[in-house]
Structure 1
Amino acid sequence: MSDCLVVGGGIIGLSVAYELSKRGLSVTLVEQGEWGGQASSAAAGMLAPLKEFASMGPMLDLGMESLRLYPQWAQELEERAAGDVQLSLEGLVTVALNDAESEQLKAKFHWQKEAGHDVRWLDGKELREVEPLLSEQVVAGIHSPGEGHINNRLLLRSLVTACRIQGVQLLSGCVVSGIAVKAGRVIGVETTSGPIRAEHTIIASGAWAGIMMQMLDLAIPVRPVRGQIAAVSSVGIPLRTVIFGTSGYITPKKDGKIVIGATEDESGFQREVTLAGLASVLNGVMPYVPALHAAAFLEAWGGLRPATADGKPLLGPVPGWEGLSLAGGHFRNGILLSPITAKRMADYVESGRVDRLEAFLPSRFLP
């Protein structure tokens, strides 16, 4: 029997398992498919809480705290797993193509500046000094010099390696068929590989968390939202920085790719790339960087992001079921929020205290 069982091998499950094992707990991690095969792969690895969250509050606070953890966390994983995760915190721009978009961005800039965040308002000419390939149509925008991105595929690979080195028992291709209960307490799960028992079970199964909760006759509002994303070659297109616009984003990676995206479509549990989705992704970024018209297409892929009813993740104990917690529902911010989620969930498992999880407790949906 393990101290902890983590169900779900995406970025959140891997991060939580790694953190728990670092604290001296024995951990088993199970994944029904491949490591990071869903939301974690349908990502560009953005680390951009100021761009992502539209107002002050617990989500922005969580995102900023996670961003501050990233440099040390990434360095630790690189040293532990002997592999570069291509962390880049060299800034990004959020741009407007017309006056209406500019006014919306300026309102966001003002509250962020007043809150003390490192943001700068630039006109079109100043933005093109930051990123010369920006279109002449860009009229203004926000420059956020402290944000950036990471290679999510390399990060996932490093986490799997680090978990293995830490002694986490890794079981992929292992489908959970039921949650094991004894005297009102969750004691593990039943799987296609046999029973797995643990003192504490953490469900980190992303878009499948709702299905997992149905095994206990609990209804929790988590649904899959498909993200379709593409990559083109950076050969001949020397982009310097990440670009966000209202119809897409453009992320130059250190491996010679430019990742562009992404759709948000309700497709159930279908993750295939569609022609309509791919067209939306490709056409959405052309107005920002005209040079992309000549880019060589490399690949496209899709994944399922776990969305909750209120846009906030589910972190902490499941009411009425001792020994069971949730860590999921991060929607498109799983990469950004992985280090802080791992830290706070491990704190909870060790102490039993939920004071730092209050805004995200599952009890808001499960009275």
Structure 2
Amino acid sequence: MNKVQAKESFVMGKVLIVGGGIIGLSLAYELAARGKTVTIVEQGDWGGQASSAAAGMLAPLKEFQSVGPLLDLGMESLQSYPRWVEELQAIAGGDVQLSLEGLLTVALDEEEEEAFYNKYLWQKKAGHDVHWLQGKELQEVEPLLTDQAVAAIYSPGEGHINNRFLLRALVTACRKLGVDLRSGCVVSKLLHHAGCVEGVETSSGRIYADHTVICSGAWAGIMMQMLDVSIPVRPVRGQIAAVSSIGIPLRTVIFGSSGYLTPKKDGRIVIGATEDESGFQREVTLSGLAHVLQGALPYVPALHAAAFLEAWGGLRPATADGKPIMGEIPGLRCISLAGGHFRNGILLSVVTAKRMADWLETGNQERLMPFSPGRFLTDTAVPVPSKMG
């Protein structure tokens, strides 16, 4: 078989996705929309881990601290969101409540003001749509903002989405597009022979595929250990709360050094979040909840009267260098990884799905190189048992 035939065989083959969070579901949807045969397995419920425990923030200018590939990735995803959501809703029906109505990064003292102003300057110099607001300008954008606010960066193109509605829409669209969805399906082994991964052993039997993509979030490192590959992905717990927006018509996402507030169209204000090194423990703690609520109150005093609704926790997949991981595993064939998005899985889901799908179709890895798994591996060859697993 020549190289062209091999590529055609791969493109037309079956793709198996391990992990049914926002990254796995988005990739399954993108591939299925392109006419590919896709199976996706999830050990629990769809989006039941970090994806459903997120605030749905779409804020690359807030999240990323310098120009470079990561900020470029975030901006590309943000700009792709409106059309992607429009196409998704046309298939799945419903409204995922995309809102790109702006975001304020608020300074409450002179030290924060200086730090945020420096950030504003490099973002403005890089050509991004940001504005430096002070005094009455702040209340014009968000009337509920505390009068103790000194200044803020206003980024009118950023916003948020209802991540729970988004996950439901992705599951619905995947079903309609013919994706084989298997929840409650626990992977116990990666099947491989002579350096080629051929599928997985699961609680419901073996599943074979031409290519396997690991999208298992905080569990990605454990999955790689099945192949004696060390990829540094670890869980970081995020604890989040929600209060009722009744009587508190907050209209703008607010970020500060001690927390953030996200007004949802479903009557909630989502408040977050902690970053706890707690292993795989995702329970909400009393100290974590207190930290979240107390961190938000200084920005919107009206929250003191808000009715508390719920609190939850999720495990974010963090990497050693803070960048996501996308692409093939050096020394192995027919397997790749898409993960390590930490607290930006919702934001980066669209661009991750598109770039991974482009690579799976064409074999061109150029746009994945800044995020290659190979950056964590000292040797190009990965030790893999030669016998079938």
TM-score range, shorter chain: over 0.9
What is the deviation of 1:125? Answer: 2.1
2:193 matches 1:182: yes
The aligned counterpart of 2:164 is 153
1:91–1:144 CA contact under 8 A, matched in 2: yes
Q: Spell out structure 1 runs of 4+ moving beyond 6 A.
A: none
The aligned counterpart of 1:340 is 351
Query: Unpaired segments of 5 or more residues in structure 2?
Result: 1-11, 380-389
1:78-118 Cα deviation digits (max 9, x unpaired):
11111100000011100000000000000000000011100
2:250 matches 1:239: yes
What is the deviation of 1:2? Answer: 6.2
Query: Unpaired segments of 5 or more residues in structure 1?
Result: none
1:235-270 Cα deviation digits (max 9, x unpaired):
010111100000000010000100000000001001
Aligned length, in residue pairs: 367
1:280-325 Cα deviation digits (max 9, x unpaired):
0000000000000000000000000000000011100011110000
2:259 matches 1:252: no
The aligned counterpart of 1:55 is 66
**C-alpha separation in 2, matches of 1:163 and 1:278:** 35
Q: The residue matched to 1:21 in structure 2 has which SS?
A: helix
**C-alpha separation in 1, matches of 2:222 and 2:137:** 49
**C-alpha separation in 2, matches of 1:49 and 1:303:** 21
Q: The residue matched to 1:19 in structure 2 has which SS?
A: helix
Q: The residue matched to 2:27 in structure 1 has which SS?
A: helix
What is the deviation of 1:124? Answer: 3.3
**C-alpha separation in 1, matches of 2:303 and 2:99:** 22
Amino acid corresponding to residue 206 of structure 2 in structure 1: P
1:96–1:140 CA contact under 8 A, matched in 2: yes
| Identical-pair percentage | 74
* TM-score normalised per structure 1: 0.99
Q: The residue matched to 1:70 in structure 2 has which SS?
A: helix
Amino acid corresponding to residue 347 of structure 2 in structure 1: L
Query: 1:101 pairs with 100, 112, 115, which one?
Result: 112
Q: The residue matched to 1:244 in structure 2 has which SS?
A: strand
**C-alpha separation in 1, matches of 2:280 and 2:87:** 34
The aligned counterpart of 1:22 is 33
The aligned counterpart of 1:213 is 224
Query: 1:288 pairs with 296, 299, 314, which one?
Result: 299
The aligned counterpart of 1:46 is 57
**C-alpha separation in 2, matches of 1:114 and 1:182:** 52
Q: The residue matched to 1:333 in structure 2 has which SS?
A: helix
**C-alpha separation in 1, matches of 2:237 and 2:111:** 29
**C-alpha separation in 1, matches of 2:289 and 2:13:** 43
- Give the superposed CA RMSD: 0.9
2:87 matches 1:66: no
2:331 matches 1:317: no
2:208 matches 1:191: no
What is the deviation of 1:356? Answer: 0.5
Q: The residue matched to 1:332 in structure 2 has which SS?
A: helix
What is the deviation of 1:24? Answer: 1.4
Q: Pairwise mapping of residues 87-166 of structure 1 onto structure 2 (< 5 A)?
A: 87-166=98-177
**C-alpha separation in 1, matches of 2:342 and 2:246:** 32
After superposition, the Cα gap between the structure-2 partners of 1:2 and 1:32, relative to the gap in structure 1 and judged at 3 Å, is farther
Amino acid corresponding to residue 7 of structure 1 in structure 2: V
1:2–1:28 CA contact under 8 A, matched in 2: no
